[in-house]
Amino acid sequence: MKVKIQSIHFDADVKLLQFVEEKVDKLGHFYNEIIGSEVFLKLDKNSNTENKVAEIKLHIPGNDLFVKKQCKTFEEATDTAVEALTRQLKKHKEKAKGL
């Protein structure tokens, strides 16, 4: 699966990019028809400590799945976003089997 990562308003270091790519790649274990994914890492401009935003869009046949999570670190935001996408993929798979 092709993972496209964009960091907005900052330059992401290599460790962060590798972490995000590994996490998103693991989604392929749950659903093998994933075409590709886009990850957007953003710094929110509010003064709150939870100002790191991770948005993940998964391209799958039929629909695109999208998750946006905001946490204290990009790693935490990515983890929670991937968990949410895992649930969405499982639901999507169950619906597809039911047809």
Q: pLDDT, tens digit, for every residue of 22-59? A: 999 999 998 888 999 999 999 988 767 789 999 999 99
Pairing of strands 64-71, 52-59: antiparallel
**What domains appear along the chain, each with residue ranges and CATH number?**
2-98 (3.30.160.100)
Quickly state the pLDDT bin for 5 (edges 50, 70, 90): very high
Task: State the average pLDDT over residues 78-86.
Answer: 97
Among residues 38, 36, 31, the alpha carbon closest in space to that of 8 is found at 38
| Chain segment 83-93, per-residue pLDDT in tens | 999 999 999 98
Instruction: Residue 67: name the closest of 18, 2, 20 by CA.
Output: 20
| pTM for the structure as a whole | 0.91
Looking at residue 99, its pLDDT comes to: 61
Distance between CA atoms of residues 58 and 38, nearest Å: 7
User: Which residues make Cβ contacts (< 8 Å) with residue 7, sequence separation at least 6?
Assistant: 41, 42
